[in-house]
Amino acid sequence: MQRIAVSFWATLALLSVLWLATSPFAAASANFFQFRAIMVQYTGILAVGCMSLCMILALRPRWPEKRLGGLDKMYRLHKWFGIAALVTGVIHWLWAKGPKWAVGWGWLDRPERGPKPVPDNMVEQLFRTSRGFAEDVGEWAFYAAALLILAALLPRIPYRQFFKTHRILAAAFLVLVFHSLILLNFADWMSPLGLAVALLLACGTWAAVVVLRRRVAAHRRVGGEIVSIHYYPGVRVLETGIRIPEGWPGHQSGQFAFVTSDASEGAHPYTIASAWNDAERRITFVIKELGDHTRRLREKLHAGQTVTVEGPYGCFTFDDDCPRQIWVGGGIGITPFIARMHHRILQREATGRLPEQIIDLFHTTTDVDEGALDRLKADAAAAGVRLHILIDARDGRLGGDRIRELVPDWRQASLWFCGPAGFGTALRHDFHKQGLPVKRRFHQELFAMR
């Protein structure tokens, strides 16, 4: 979280510094309407800059993933930039419209404006004659973008509707690019601010075109075939095995992939619940019934069906040099730990011994399925992992005190958490108070893609 927070605020600060460097003393000597023009420019730059970065991150690019801590963190940053674009866009709209309303209501006097000199530059003349059209189309594009961003923030909207409508934001963004090109102060285009905005707009435009063509991460998609399906009714979980004949680069335990079984529904992210074996070329997903789409999968999926798998993504890969690890999987958050146990089993089969790292796995669950728990116990025994199963109704809620009681040398351990976000935040704060260096040793998957 710290990396994405730094990235978010550093971006806003950089755009602000570049803006101040372009006209550092303009605001101090301005009257109200001059100040209003300055704020319209500043808020517009922030809004279109944030939206450009939203479009770039929507491509799921590889290069910032490790730097930001995984695609799950990148999507959180994408969400923050979307909210920032909405907020600064509304402020931009109010600065543009508010004074006009105040003049109409008689609260402000209309400023007197003399004739504007005709610019010598033909491009500047063209831009000036297009200002009215750019303002009009930009206003309507803003209304569309604001509604779509608000809709994206509402979890009650089904994913398939979110998937379809969110793509329209790319078209609205392209209109806002035109709006920005025409209405940014022409002299600023040759300044560092103008060059930064031009770069953001160019990259964002390219990203928007890719989104509209439905080519996001197309080079990372591979075809697969469902070869097994097993349903655990007690926990409402569907285990699906997919064979991928070719193209899959392999994955690390704890990573996830996007799977498309229905083009109209779009790609859904699922954590991979198996280790990669190049001889078998098979991936397993464990899917919890949490929404309309996942509840229908049991009826819609069948053996022999072709699907598309995209990935792998994520940095929740258990990489550290601590002699001990503590794993905490809440509910369906057990999935990455199943994959890691399978990886340890493969290592034992290849080398004749298990890795030396000592591991305690805490699995907390509300629902119970004895078949699923038996599978989990067998995997833990084969992987040399000490398993603690806690049923909420029987054992109460898991907290830091209980973990520390059962793992006395927890100070030498790293803690890997996957589950409800609030549960993870509470554990992080608890261990931080007890002196665990959580910035280095507490790892949490933020598995929320909207």
CB atoms inside a 10 Å sphere around CB 395: 13
Tokens read off for 336: 């990455």
Residue in the structure block whose two tokens are 């089969």: 349
pLDDT for res 117: 67
The CATH number of the domain covering residues in 324-444: 3.40.50.80
* HSE toward the beta carbon, residue 347, CA cutoff 13 A: 14
Query: Which H or E run includes 210?
Result: helix 192-212
Using 70 as the pLDDT threshold, list the residues of the chain that sit under it: 1, 24-30, 113-119, 447-450
pLDDT for res 29: 56
Q: CA 15, CA 196: separation in Å to the nearest integer?
A: 8
pLDDT for res 271: 92
Q: Where in the chain is the domain with CATH 3.40.50.80?
A: 324-444
pLDDT for res 3: 84
Q: Where in the chain is the domain with CATH 1.20.120?
A: 2-212
**Among 222, 266, 224, 221, CA closest to 241:** 224
CB proximity list for 220: less than 8 A, separation 6 or greater = 310, 311
Q: Where in the chain is the domain with CATH 2.40.30.10?
A: 219-313
Q: Which fold has domain 2-212?
A: Four Helix Bundle (Hemerythrin (Met), subunit A) (1.20.120)
Q: Which fold has domain 219-313?
A: Elongation Factor Tu (Ef-tu); domain 3 (2.40.30)
pLDDT for res 449: 60
131-152 vs 159-183: helix crossing angle, rounded to 10: 150
Residue 218 burial by CB count (10 A; 0-12/13-18/19+): exposed, middle or buried?
A: exposed
The b/e string for 91-106 (b: 16+ C-beta within 10 A; e otherwise) is bbbebbeebeeeeeee
pLDDT for res 28: 54
pLDDT for res 26: 55
